[in-house]
Amino acid sequence: MNILKVLIALCCLILLPTFLFSQSSIRKLDPDKRYMLQKWEVFYTNIPVSGGVRVGIMAFENSDKIVPNSFFVRIPKHTQPLLCVEISSRDGRYQAKLPFTIVGSEPGIYELILPTQYQNELKNYSIKDITILAKITKACDEEPECYVLSAWNSPKFNQQQAYVYLNTDVYTELILSDLSNKSVEHVIECEKIPEPIATAYNCLCKLSGYDLTKYSEIRIKRIIVRWPTRSTSILNLPVRF
């Protein structure tokens, strides 16, 4: 019996540092109020007009519901000082813009605090109904150094699976370029979201089965047909997985 107690104690001593490390490895960040807009979030009664093409870049999650007081991002190596976040519900009712200062922040997973006054409304959304677009940049109104993966519930980011949410009414593809060999490209056809209300975003591009760390150079290719002409629109999506 004493031997059993000793073995249990030894197991606890071995596992405790691992547990503590896993708990402390997720650091928390609050929004930087110096850069926040006075009206940084809105919940519309009437559905507004949709916005830009790039709407969300999300990690795979097992849970379906969101916890609307925080979310997670994986911050890579970076040089710019701000992480600017836009949150959009698919129906267009909820929109939020939050800046976070990441000067000196080491690469890793961070929990970002969402000080929303609309928790009751947001609890009704699933992870497919509301998406996050997070970019590292010098200023929130400037082009990004890179976009990063976000997740509502699970900080277990899979480097072989991600979802890109877009707002586009035309045929759309993602083009992944291999960083080590520019001549190697993979084309991913995006899918229309079969929902009656899709104001903020209506298109889903599933990245699966690739080592995404090799394909940080991503482009959005849209085929625009206005009879009798046909044109191609290219948007860069510099994601750092």
Domain locations in the chain as residue ranges: 25-238
Distance CA 182, CA 99 (A): 34
pTM of the entire predicted model: 0.86
pLDDT for the residue 63: 83
Asked if 161 and 57 touch (Cβ cutoff 8 Å), the reply is no
Pairing of strands 70-75, 82-89: unpaired
pLDDT for the residue 192: 95
Distance CA 75, CA 147 (A): 9
Asked if 160 and 211 touch (Cβ cutoff 8 Å), the reply is yes
Residue burial 173-182, b: 16+ Cβ < 10 Å; e: rest: ebbbbbeeee
pLDDT for the residue 25: 77
Q: Does residue 17 carry a pLDDT above 90?
A: no
Task: State the CB neighbour count (10 A cutoff) for residue 22.
Answer: 10
Two tokens, residue 46: 């009437």
Q: Does residue 106 carry a pLDDT above 50?
A: yes
Total count of residues recorded for the chain = 241
State pLDDT tens for residues 31-55: 999 999 999 999 998 776 667 899 9
State pLDDT tens for residues 127-177: 999 999 999 999 999 999 999 999 998 777 877 889 999 999 999 999 998
Quick one: 2 exposed, middle or buried, by C-beta within 10 A (0-12, 13-18, 19+)? exposed
Annotate the chain with DSSP letters as a single string.
-HHHHHHHHHHHHHHHHHHHHHHHTSEEE---TTS--TT-EEE-SS------SEEEEEE--S--B--TTEEEEEE-S--SSEEEEEEEETTS-EEEEEEEE-TTPPSEEEEEE---S-HHHHTT-BTTTEEEEEEEESSTTS--SEEE-EESS-----TTEEEEEE--SSEEEEEEE-SS-TT-EEEEE-EE---S--SS--EEEEEESS-GGG--EEEEEEEEEETTEEEEEEEEEEB--
